[in-house]
């Protein structure tokens, strides 16, 4: 069994990191959860991912899915969690104090009836 590892990602590496992993994550299911003073709120459930990018000009992390784009403004800290070489989730802390978690999941394959 491969153990989970979590580490912070320096801001100067965000754009390159997300551009590179977007290719590998395309088509995965995405679950986005926003945690604030009101408790966790799901923003999406199993949308199919098109890509993730950091826009340094607007200071925003953009999660592009087939249904819509989810924009995380003014991110201050990004940590990534994975199992071995597979990215499982990204946690973002924003300037306003919100915590957003983006989880990546493989679609469930069902056997034929």
Indicate the range of 15-19, 22-26, 38-42 predicted with least confidence: 38-42
What is the Cα 47 distance to its own chain's centre? 12
Asked whether the predicted pLDDT for residue 42 surpasses 70, the reply is: no
Backbone angles phi, psi at 80, to 5 degrees: -120, 145
Length of the chain: 113
Mean pLDDT of 55-74: 92
Residue 15: predicted pLDDT: 95
On whether the pTM is more than 0.85, the answer is no
What SS3 string covers 28-79?
Answer: CEEEEEEEECCEEEEEEEEEEEEEEEEECCCCEEEEEECCCEEEEECEEEEE
Q: Rounded distance, CA 111 to CA 113, Å?
A: 6
Q: Are 100 and 62 contacting, i.e. CB atoms less than 8 angstroms apart?
A: no
Residue 40: predicted pLDDT: 57
Residue 107: predicted pLDDT: 57
């Amino acid at each position: 069994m491969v153990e989970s590892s979590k580490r912070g990602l320096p801001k100067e590496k965000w754009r390159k990191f997300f551009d590179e992993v977007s290719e590998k994550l395309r088509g995965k299911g995405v679950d986005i959860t926003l945690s604030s003073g009101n408790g966790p709120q799901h923003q999406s459930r199993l949308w199919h991912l098109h890509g993730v990018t950091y826009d340094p000009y607007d200071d925003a992390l953009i999660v592009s899915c087939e249904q819509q784009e989810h924009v995380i403004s003014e991110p201050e800290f990004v940590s990534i969690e994975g199992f071995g070489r597979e990215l499982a989730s990204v946690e973002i802390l924003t300037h306003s104090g919100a915590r957003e978690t983006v989880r990546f999941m493989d679609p469930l394959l069902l056997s034929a009836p």
